[in-house]
Structure 1
């Protein structure tokens, strides 16, 4: 009997020893597994880009994707991102090439039929170090040049037209520095690739303040409420793109935008995405500048037809004050946009003041929202615009009355959206008129344009 109990005790002790050894082994395995996971996590952390006072570390953890902004490279931790896109506008224009402004621009002798690559652009943007430190620049690769002699280098050379950095740590306040189409009015800031028509209205040349170099404060206040608004306030050289300020005068600009339905409206025309809720904005802006420019464009500083050329003007010759009121609205395929401009130019050299005003209103609609058999890619749009400006032959000393040129634009358009604004075909037709009150001259020109706008 003792032998039986001894055998039983030996077996019990053996079982306890085995179970203890197994427990010790499982604890060891758990520790080993935990250690391996920690090493893996440290390796993963080291593999993601980081930075400190001394350097930016190198990483292989980079993700490649493609979306509406083009090809995207982004680090695994999201601290650095770059988007690259290529864009081209291929256009045919018939009858009238541009916007006729003077009596000599009208008539059958000025009819033009031409193919052109209107814009070929490379766009690069993204963020670095923090998601709220954003950058963007745009290169114009092939601006079109005029035919038949002359210095074409300024018009046809490759040029950087936009470069800017946004530092926006809070929605309510941020800073932008660089060169860009400053946020004065919607028609100009809306990209040429996100327009509702082949080109901007006749108002644009007269009143845009275009690209400038400077600094601007911006912010979004009371978001999502009926007091939802954006503000912009900036100081700029005032000489257009890529030019030093030759004196101690600056251009000043301010804009306030009220999103009266509590929803923000992007800088983009046509309601391709179909806003399910009505979204609108009402904005007012003002700008002032002392210098040699009376207008601005993508080429920089310029002069309006009735004023001294910027190359011959004296420093600070022109004192400019201008204002704009703007309205925009989108809902279920309907888009409406309107601007009214007023401008005062004081020529201190000739000692006279001239006033001008202009406005445009445009509406577009995707009729498949109303009639089901209409293709959802098809949009129909119409625009009316006018400009009242001084006559090019006015007497600067006021010995004769101040006559005005009155110009009108009536444009209808059809858009076919293959992939939003990234791939679309636009056909528009315009009637452009001029009434010269000094001579009683009245005339009109027709224009037809077809354009394919595509982004890769």
Structure 2
């Protein structure tokens, strides 16, 4: 039934073309079409994108051979995107809907037992000077790798650091501002107050609120075409460009194992609650086809081991620890790119029971039309200190309209 409603909505959108002042077919990768109201008081760009992924994994056997092979084919992502302005160019909006199983998974009693179609639904109001006020559901200003769109990644997918520590999307408000220290030195500040339980929650605030603050320094000025929030140096920066940033996030009375992500920590009173703090420090550098991204993450909790009211353990714990991720690549003039990544995860073994992990990834990409049409493949070797090693190969095709 919900898919019928979605299809009906798309049909209605197509009829809106008739009542628009201007309808055009943009160049490939810049949306399916653009609409502008007859009185120029609104606009809408409609776009879609898909990712098709093939993945194979093997465990390392006792004789150093490969055992337990597994393969799968996925529609990794399938999304619809709408953005534009309403009433004034100073009031922008963005809606992004996920349609693949991976996009909508995670239904629970806290999401009304409904698929989680909505990824982004946010309005952005430039109310004064360089200040913007955001309201709705969107990505929090966390680590640089998470804020980069999944369609603009340098490798097939994000690193283990991101999967273990990112703070992803949430519902709330944000305040963003930027200013120049000199003609080139750009500073950006981002603040957020959110629910603290992730996206598409319908039951209200279960714990406390989540507060996020991020500071970004760009000493050599802004990147071309927002290249600091995109993988690879597709614009081939003619002068070196650098982003240095730090994020501090505190989730008061958090009820999930990974701040606003992970699983809920239930106990005999309902939920186990504890304050969780996450720190990110990251950098992005690009110059003449060369790119380098580095990230550090650390998560702590006031009392990471979940307990019942009588002090007995529930079996849940906050995933506290730290991680390092370093990734680099070089884009050749024929738009082939080689890239490499090293990721180290050190969760607290005494609390989480998980051993340190090291992952090494080699990637190869062919950009046919930038990130809008590309083919990527990578091979990863995961080494876990308990002696469990794994090899993974992936192939992915991206297309954006």
Please indicate, yes or no, whether the TM-score normalized by the shorter chain is above 0.5: yes
- Give 2:370's aligned residue: 420
Once residues 128 and 327 of structure 2 are traced to their aligned partners in structure 1, the CA distance between those partners, rounded to angstroms, is 34
1:321 lines up with 2:277 in the alignment: yes
Specify whether residues 59 and 367 from structure 1 end up closer, same or farther in structure 2 by C-alpha distance, changes over 3 A only: closer
Distance 2:322 2:80 in 1: 35
Equivalent of residue 54 in structure 2, options 87, 92, 116: 92
For residue 162 of structure 2, give the secondary structure of its aligned residue in structure 1. Answer: helix
What pairs up with 1:206-221 in 2 under 5 angstroms?
Answer: 206-221=164-179
Task: Show the counterpart of 1:362.
Answer: 327
Change (3 A) 1:127 1:256: same
Structure 1 Cα separation of the partners of residues 343 and 241 of structure 2: 24
Contact 1:143 1:155 in 2 (8 A): no
Q: Given the alignment of the two structures, is residue 295 of structure 1 paired with residue 219 of structure 2, yes or no?
A: no
Structure-2 separation of matches of 1:379 and 1:156 = 40
Secondary structure at the counterpart of residue 25 of structure 2:
strand
Alignment of 1:31-180 (within 5 A): 61-67=21-27, 68-70=29-31, 71-75=33-37, 78-95=40-57, 110-144=68-102, 157=115, 159-170=117-128, 172-180=130-138
Pick one of 376, 393, 398 that aligns with 1:448: 393
Report which structure shows greater RCO (CA 8 Å, sep ≥6): 2
Q: CA deviation at 1:246?
A: 3.1
SS at match of 1:249: coil
Q: Highest Rg: 1 or 2? A: 1
SS of 2:356 mapped into structure 1: strand
How does the TM-score come out when normalised to structure 1?
0.72
1:338 corresponds, among 294, 299, 322, to 294
| 8 Å Cα contact 1:64-1:73 kept in structure 2 | yes
> Is the 8 Å Cα contact of residues 142 and 158 (structure 1) preserved in structure 2?
no
SS at match of 1:272: coil
What SS is found at the alignment partner of 1:205? Answer: helix
- What RMSD in Å do the two structures reach over aligned CA positions? 3.1
Task: Measure, in 2, the Cα distance between the counterparts of 1:132 and 1:277.
Answer: 31
Structure 1 Cα separation of the partners of residues 211 and 30 of structure 2: 31
**CA separation in 1, counterparts of 2:20 and 2:357?**
59
**Does the aligned pair in 2 maintain the 1:238–1:245 contact within 8 Å?**
no
Question: Shift of residue 77 of structure 1?
Answer: 6.3
TM-superposed deviation, 1:347: 3.0
C-alpha distance 154-237 of structure 1, shift in aligned 2 (>3 A):
closer
Whole-Å Cα distance in 2 between the matches of residues 156 and 179 of structure 1?
17
Give the drift of 1:321: 0.8
- The equivalent position to 2:234 in structure 1, one of 244, 269, 272, is 272
> Hey, which of these two has a bigger chunk of strand by percent?
2
Contact 2:97-2:120 at 8 Å conserved across structures:
yes
Deviations 1:161-210 (A, max 9, x none): 11111001445211011111111111011111000011100111211111
Report if the CA contact (8 A) 1:163-1:180 is conserved: yes
Return closer, same or farther for 1:420/1:171 CA change in 2, 3 Å cut-off. farther
Q: What residue is the counterpart of 1:13 in the other structure?
A: none
1:36: which partner in 2?
none
**Displacement of 1:431:** 0.4
SS in 2 for 1:240: coil
> How much does 1:448 deviate?
0.5
What are the superposed Cα offsets for residues 237-287 of structure 1, whole Å, 9 maximum, x if unpaired? 001111144356200000000011122454111111212222111001100
**Unaligned segments of structure 2, at least 5 residues:** 1-17, 104-110, 312-316
Secondary structure of the corresponding residue to residue 132 of structure 1: strand
TM-score normalised to structure 2 length: 0.81
The worse-fitting range, judged by mean Cα deviation, of 325-334 and 167-176 is: 167-176
Is the CA contact (8 Å cut-off) linking 2:217 and 2:244 kept in structure 1? yes
Cα shift readout 1:45-72 (whole Å, capped 9, x = no counterpart): xxxxxxxxxxxxx976323231443021
* 3-state SS, counterpart of residue 229 of structure 2: coil
Counterpart residue number, 1:49: none
Distance 1:419 1:69 in 2: 11
Q: Give the Cα separation in 1 of the matches to 2:377 and 2:180.
A: 40
The count of residues paired between Structure 1 and Structure 2 equals 358
